[in-house]
Structure 1
Amino acid sequence: MIGEHVIVGYTNAPGGRDALALAAAITRVTGGELTVATIYPPGSPGLAVEAQANLAHAAEELGSIPAGYLTYESRGTGRGLSVLASRIRADLIVVGSAEGGRHGRITIGATSNHLLHLSSEAVMLVPAQYVPVDGPGRLTLAYVHRPQCDEAVERMAQAALALGIPLRLITLDLRTDDPGKLRDDLALAVRLAWETTGIEAESEVAEGHDVAAALADVEWLPGELLVCAASEDAQPHRVFLGELAMKALRASPCPVIVLPRGFA
């Protein structure tokens, strides 16, 4: 299950603090290991010192919560986090929303953009000013009938069962497809979840003229997590989001987890 070792990209800024709080909340639930990392560019001794100061601030924020702390020199924060995650065998990278975005929504910056196209680990993005609750309330998987999503149905059903929370499968109807086929595909996915784990997944077709309108018409519980599978265009064991999933990510009112292709 995701969350056995979480690495969070930390900066002493609102997005960094949001990511740190959620990463700590995840490891409290999973009992996993937490690593806090700050990336700084090469050839910048002053920024290296600042990175250490950032980690000291993160330690103050976490208090008694156990965590490891790393600084790492890299030409890009996303690249550095991805390399570090592989080295320490983290299974989830958590990053906050870029500055200047809308409250309660995810704004993609250079770091998250890199991770969403090249990370070999699952990536979680946190909406601006998101406040974690005691535990996850429900897993919602954005479902499209394709192999990547079918694999994700099985994995998320297992995760929901382990966490003791509901699983919901949601399909977007943007009034461009056959509604009957969408519902039939969703019913097959619900059956797949039942056959593999015995969990009774909820299902919902969200309708709207665009992705944002469809997601706005859906109820979101406190502690909800939205899960997206990588595009079929992704390289094996890499994250890559398609256009529709990217729009869903930007419109989501809750944290979003993006799974690499072939996630196991």
Structure 2
Amino acid sequence: MIGAHVIVGYNSAPGGRDALALGAAITRVTGGELTVATIYPPGSPGLAVEAQANLAHAGEELGAAPAEYLTFESRGTGRGLSLLAGRIRADLIVVGSATGGQSGRITIGSTSDHLLHLASEAVMLAPAHYEPPEKPARLTLAYVHRPECDAAVERVAQATLRLGVPLRLITLDLRTDDQGKLRDDLALAVRLAWETTGIEAESEVAEGHDAAAALADVEWLPGELLVCAASEDAQPHRVFLGELAMKVLRASSCPVTVLPRGFS
């Protein structure tokens, strides 16, 4: 299950603190390992010292919560997090929203942009100023009838079973598709979840003229987590977020997890 080993990309900006709080909340629920990492560029001794100071601050914020703290040298923060995640066998990378974005929404910066197009692990992004609850309230999968999403239905259903929370499947109707077909596709996905795990998933078509309007059309619980599958254009075992999924991510008011292609 995602969350067996979580790595948090931490810095002293508000997004770093949001990611730390979310990563710690995930491991409290899953019982997984937590690694807090700060990335610094090569040939920068001063920034290496600053990275250590950042981790000391993270330790103060977490208090007695068990965690490993690492600094890592890399030419890019996203690249460094992905490389380090592979070395320590983390299965989830958590990062925060870029500075300067709207409160309660996800703003993509250079770090998250790299991860959303090349990471080998699942990537979770926290909205700005997000305060995680004690445990998730529901997992929602953004569903489109295609192989990667069908595989994600099984994986996310298994996760909800282990976490003891409901599963919801939503499909966006942006006034361009036959809603009857969308509902038929959703019904097949609900059946897939039932056949693989015995979970009876909720399903909903979210209507709107764009992704933001469609997401506003449905109810979101405090503690909701949204999951997106990788694009069919992704390389095997890599994250790659398509255009519509990127719009969904930017419009989401809850944390979003993106699964790599072929995630198991």
Scaled by the length of structure 1, what TM-score is found? 1.00
The answer for the alignment partner of 1:214 in structure 2 is 214
| CA deviations over 1:152-193 (Å, ceiling 9, x no partner) | 000000000110000000000001001100000000000000
- What letter corresponds to residue 194 of structure 2 in structure 1? W
Alignment-derived partner of residue 167 in structure 1: 167
Q: Deviation per CA, 1:66-106, whole angstroms, max 9, x where unpaired?
A: 00000000000000000000000000000000000000000
- Could you say which residue in structure 2 is the equivalent of 1:121? 121
User: SS at 1:18's partner residue?
Assistant: helix
Q: State the alpha-carbon separation in 1 of the partners of residues 179 and 31 from structure 2.
A: 41
SS of match in other structure, 2:220? coil
Structure 1 portions without partners, runs of 5+: none
CA distance in 1, matches of 2:158, 2:51: 38
Structure 1 counterpart of 2:97: 97
Give the aligned residue type for 2:96: G
SS across alignment from 2:86 = helix
The match for 1:57 is 57
For 1:38 and 1:160, the matched residues in 2 are separated by 31
Supply the distance in 1 between the matched residues of 2:249 and 2:85 (Cα, whole angstroms). 22
SS of 1:115's equivalent in the other structure is: helix
Q: What number of residue pairs does the alignment pair up?
A: 264
Aligned match of 2:248:
248
TM superposition shift of 1:13: 1.1
- Computed over aligned residues only, the root mean square deviation of the Cα atoms, in angstroms, reads 0.3
1:193 aligns with 2:193: yes
CA distance in 1, matches of 2:139, 2:64: 28
Alignment match, 2:111 = 111
2:177: which partner in 1?
177
TM, length-normalised to structure 2: 1.00
Give 5+ residue unaligned stretches, structure 2. Answer: none
SS of the aligned residue for 1:257 comes to strand
Cα distance in 2 for partners of 1:209, 1:162 equals 36
Map 1:64-83 → 2, pairs under 5 A: 64-83=64-83
Distance 2:73 2:196 in 1: 43
CA distance in 2, matches of 1:239, 1:90: 15
Q: Does 1:23 align with 2:23?
A: yes
Counterparts of 1:80 and 1:134 in 2: how far apart (Å)? 30
